[in-house]
Amino acid sequence: MSDRPHQDDQRTVPSGPTAPTGSGARALDVVLRIVGGVVAVWGGVLTALLEAFLVPLRIGGVRIPFSLLLAVVCNILLMLFARAATGNRFVALLPGIAWFVVTIVLSGQTAAGDTVLVGNDWMPIALLLVGAASVTVGAFLVVVRRPR
């Protein structure tokens, strides 16, 4: 079919598949929003773990701050993704909160005295600061309404 008007009523007839209507479409929308939120939160958890274990990355004996770059990019993008996927400004904060909680937990010691993010080096401290700053920027981008 084409988008040309019928001779009878002069309305345009859409071509191609149409979106489902009714309660099925509403249920699908809710499920997709929930799945998008869960994916975004898990993304925050997984990137926090990846960044923490990339802190000691060295190439040829030179420390590479790849985890800092990853923290900035991933935190902001995950929060923007959560906003787009859920349609809710405040749910979009959850990936940043999850990232921060995991990073703080990894900064503490276990009962055996093991620590992932050791505080006597500049890199873990920089990860906490840069990551928290990127969560703040992401929060600003998703919460503050922009004039249209």
How confident is the model over 101-128, as pLDDT tens digits? 999 999 988 888 888 888 788 999 999 9
Distances in Å between the Cα of 55 and the Cα atoms of 33, 58, 128 are 33, 9, 11
Sketch the domain layout of the chain as residue ranges: 38-143
Please check the confidence at residue 51 and state whether its pLDDT lies above 60.
yes
Q: Is the pTM of this model over 0.75?
A: yes
